[in-house]
Amino acid sequence: MRLFRHYDGLPPDATGAVVAIGNFDGVHRGHRIVIGAAGDIARATGKPLGVLTFEPHPKRIFQPDAPPFRLSSLRTKAHQMELLGVDCLYVMQFHKAFAEIPAENFVIDILVSGFGVSHVVVGEDFVFGHKRAGDVQLLRELARRFDFQITRVFTQREPDGTVIASRRIRQLLIEGKPAEAAKLLGRYWEIGGRVEHGDAVGRTLGFPTANLPLGDYQRPKAGIYAIRAGIDEGAQTVWRDGVASLGWRPTFAGRDLRFEAHLFDFSGDLYGKHLRVALIEYLREERKFDGIEPLIAQMQKDSAEARAVLADAARFAAPGFKLG
């Protein structure tokens, strides 16, 4: 997969694609239907499969003071796109000037003149352009004028009527329900980043941890989680079981929210490496302990419970419960 951050001067083999357009935050099952529809058309017509997305997320521009909400970083998004067979990932920088591009100009200047799209695939409620003035109807009208095709994919729902949507996944994470979020995502939700130096308290307790920056990631429910951690080893990701804490460390009078992952039976140096941590199951809420010994005893119980959860191999073989 090739990644492009511009639409002008593209090489000829990166133009004329069937392009799915959207934010695709989380690349959940609903997003995969949209991208999959574009892929089917691309294979049938012999065209490249492209995805057009935007960074930063437009919400961060329109609501700069909004609390963290991202389900996936660009790195995670790109990784998932590659797994879906995307040939060209077009990442447009989203800023106020971009947001002010009139809807018709977005189509003419970017989609037609820039990407030379052969076919555009969008979700049911797709809107675009200045003040969200463009919709699927306008896109169809412009497609007829400029000789490209349009496919509209309707919102995906679970059998019980639940809409597969990023906002629903965020709410499930806030409620401490990562397994339910995974069903909508089609994979376990991950926090990814480069391991930072902490205060080494975990090491002194016999539970060394890898500290990950939370950045603009959605904050899940604070507490203790059974996890699987993926360590980048060149082109491979090596997955290890573990347990993680998301919280303020009340036993140590902590004041900042931290995400700390302990990997079972691992003694290597992780500082500076990129780590992917998948939340598998919520174990308990964070609480303050009266001293170090009760804390260590509880950490041992947490580790044993996490090992038991992660030993359930059938869980990871089931559809919608996978890593990668």
Active site residues: 260
243 membership: H or E segment, kind and range? strand 236-247
DSSP string of 13-78, one letter each residue:
GGSS-EEEES--TT--HHHHHHHHHHHHHHHHHTPPEEEEEEES-HHHHH-TTSPP-BS--HHHHH
| Nearest alpha carbon to residue 187 among 42, 295, 84, 56 | 84
Query: What 8-state DSSP symbol labels residue 322?
Result: -
| Cβ neighbours for 122, distance < 8 A, ≥ 6 positions apart | 20, 21, 22, 34, 136, 139, 150, 151, 152, 153
Give the residue from 129, 38, 130, 126 showing the smallest Cα distance to 88. 38
Q: Which residues pair with 114 in a beta bridge?
A: none
Mutual orientation of helices 166-174 and 178-185 as an angle, nearest 10°?
160
- How many Cα atoms occupy the beta-carbon half-sphere of 110 within 13 Å? 22
Residue 58: phi and psi, rounded to 5, are -50, -30
DSSP classification of residue 161: S
